[in-house]
């Protein structure tokens, strides 16, 4: 009798467990961070109620380490000349990767250009009203990533205390990578992270068993956001940089200046490249190269793409002003027909 009761009990438990097992669903976590918005689509049996708290912790650590908009951050202290700051591992990661991209891009990616970003009115500090050649020349003495070194004790050494570090062109991508690591740790295997237009995709949409679909902005857009193409993204990251959103109009001359600063001249740089969308294994890499391509010619960009494990969709203007595209074969294979 006890044996029969035990078997019945086991059967009831099994039926009960089977009936309460939830099928995976699509959830969306949205919010604001790093001066922009984020959205995280993920597949799970149930909504993760602790996700927001974990994300807030990541944003806080990133901000405290690398935000030039927060006066008490490590990078802000370093920029003010504090030599006692010991940076964290995230700062080390970003610094090290920035050095690599700086070398590969032959100096076109340069985090010390921040002093000029501020002067031209694109940074956290008040811009200078009249950027005369004399002013630009005086600021150029502080530009050059070779003027900054990361010591073994995790302190930053600058050849001049006025050298200004700015990782905003790569820190956002790195933040997405940290979020991806966090989701992996939560055993979330299928997700699409978007932060300010940068993306990290893993797995697929389980209901359709297809990769995540993402889009590339049209550089000719005005007020409405339109896409030039869509593609399937799986287990990769994509970052897009363009001169079509950020610009400054001189109040005296009415002239438009784009937000890409040439680290070799100190001036905002006109470029034949209007938009660069880069796919890489991680978003920090994609973000850094997308930014550097905006300061490079199309031919220089093609040369880098031949030597690095990257794919790209480049929108550029030819000598007649017509929009053209350069697409690597790997990127082309991901585009939706």
279, 237 in Cβ contact below 8 A? yes
Verdict on whether the full-model pTM lies above 0.85: yes
Residue partners of 312: CB distance under 8 A and separation at least 6? 276, 277, 278, 279, 289, 293, 301, 305, 326, 327, 328, 331
pLDDT in tens, 42-79: 999 999 999 999 999 999 999 999 999 999 999 999 99
- Biggest alpha carbon distance in the chain? 98
User: Domain ranges in the chain?
Assistant: 25-332
148 has which bridge partners? Answer: 158
**Per-residue pLDDT averaged across 270-286, rounded?**
91
29 has which bridge partners? Answer: 40
235, 201 in Cβ contact below 8 A? yes
Q: The domain 25-332: what is its CATH number? A: 3.10.520.10
Per-residue confidence band for 18, with pLDDT thresholds at 50, 70 and 90: very low
**Per-residue pLDDT averaged across 310-332, rounded?**
90
Of 201, 154, 197, the closest CA to residue 177 belongs to 201
| Calpha distance 295→169 (Å, rounded) | 12
């Amino acid at each position: 009798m006890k044996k029969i009761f035990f078997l019945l009990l086991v059967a009831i438990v099994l039926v009960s467990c089977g009936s309460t097992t939830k099928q995976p669903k699509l959830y969306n976590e949205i919010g604001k961070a790093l001066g922009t918005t984020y959205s995280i689509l993920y597949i799970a049996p149930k909504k993760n109620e602790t996700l927001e708290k974990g994300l807030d912790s990541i944003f806080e650590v990133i901000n405290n380490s690398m935000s030039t908009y927060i006066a008490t951050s490590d990078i802000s202290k370093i920029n003010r000349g504090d030599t006692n700051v010991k940076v964290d591992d995230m700062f080390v990661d970003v610094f090290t990767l920035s050095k690599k991209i700086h070398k590969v891009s032959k100096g076109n990616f340069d985090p010390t250009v921040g002093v000029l970003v501020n002067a031209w009115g694109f940074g956290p500090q008040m811009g200078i009203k009249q950027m005369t050649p004399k002013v630009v020349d005086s600021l150029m003495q502080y530009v050059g990533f070779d003027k900054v070194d990361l010591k073994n004790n995790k302190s930053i050494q600058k050849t001049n205390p006025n050298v200004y570090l700015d990782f905003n062109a790569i820190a956002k991508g790195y933040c997405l990578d940290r979020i991806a690591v966090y989701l992996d740790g939560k055993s979330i295997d299928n997700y699409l992270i978007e932060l300010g237009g940068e993306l990290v995709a893993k797995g697929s949409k389980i209901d359709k068993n297809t990769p995540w679909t993402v889009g590339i902005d049209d550089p000719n857009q005005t007020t409405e956001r339109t896409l030039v193409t869509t593609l399937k993204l799986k287990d990769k990251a994509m970052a897009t940089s363009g001169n079509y959103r950020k610009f400054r109009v001189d109040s005296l001359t009415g002239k438009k200046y784009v937000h890409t600063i040439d680290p070799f001249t100190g001036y905002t740089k006109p470029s034949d490249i209007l938009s660069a969308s880069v796919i890489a294994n991680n978003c920090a890499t994609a973000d850094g190269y997308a930014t550097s391509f905006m300061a490079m010619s199309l031919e220089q960009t093609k040369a880098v793409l031949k030597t690095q494990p990257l794919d790209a969709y480049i929108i550029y203007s030819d000598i007649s002003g017509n929009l053209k595209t350069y697409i690597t074969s790997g990127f082309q294979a991901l585009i939706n027909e």
